Amino acid sequence: MDTDAVIGRLLREHGRTYADEAGIVLHDKPAPLYQLLVLTVLCSIRIRADIATAAARELFSDGLRTPSAMADSSWQQRVDALGRAHYVRYDESTATALGEGARLVLDRYRGDLRQLREEAAGDPDALRGLLREVPRIGPVGAGIFCREAQAVWPELRPFFDERSLTAAARLGLPHTPAGLARHVDPADLSRLAAALVRVSLTRGGPAAERRAAA
């Protein structure tokens, strides 16, 4: 198997980040970083990724793109936005978590997650620990955030969470972060991680993708 060819195909066919799907133009700036945090909260429960990204777009279309706007919104406004995206069963608890998380970001980081990055002092483990202080975000959610944020925070690179590494192994690809990183430009690491997650969620999963690549 040609590893570079398989990775190239993954990037072409599945290499859209979840931030991009949610309408987030990711930069190392307060608003897009907060939007990524919102998406992370939405993805941190057992719900389909397309519903989570749709919910993020609904919240953002309501103007809830900053922690100040989120904190100032009503709980019902947040519930309604989630409902329009069919983010059901978890809409009420998630609306509460989003409000509490916005207030935490405002109070502790003055609305700027770059201060969280500074507090972590370049230590990815410390950064994930700080992320887990945000309501609803646990180890999986912290991994989701880092998987996407490595596009703008180089100290996280290469970052692949457990789901993406499992998918890589099942495809016969290198299944360590360093091993995968040898086959892709650093700027594409977040896209490759997202592609591996997307393949793991498709019908048939990595096994089907491996047969097609053979």
Q: Each residue of 56-70: pLDDT tens digit? A: 999 999 999 999 999
3-state helix/strand/coil string of 125-166:
HHHHHHHCCCCCCCHHHHHHHHHHHCCCCHHHCCCCCHHHHH
What pLDDT does residue 214 have? 25
Q: Each residue of 69-78: pLDDT tens digit? A: 999 999 999 9
**b/e for 74-100, b at 16 or more Cβ within 10 A?**
eeebbbebbebbebeebbeebbebbbb
Q: Each residue of 14-43: pLDDT tens digit? A: 999 999 999 999 999 999 999 999 999 999
Residue 68, both tokens: 């100040």
Residue showing tokens 């990815």: 124
Sorted by sequence, the CB contacts under 8 Å of residue 130 that are 6+ apart come out as 116, 119, 120
What pLDDT does residue 74 have? 98
What pLDDT does residue 202 have? 81
Residue 36, both tokens: 């990524």
Residue 62, both tokens: 């309501």
Quick check: bond before 67 cis, omega within 30? Answer: no
CA distance 25 to 46: 25
Mean pLDDT over each residue of the chain, to the nearest integer: 94
Give the pTM: 0.93
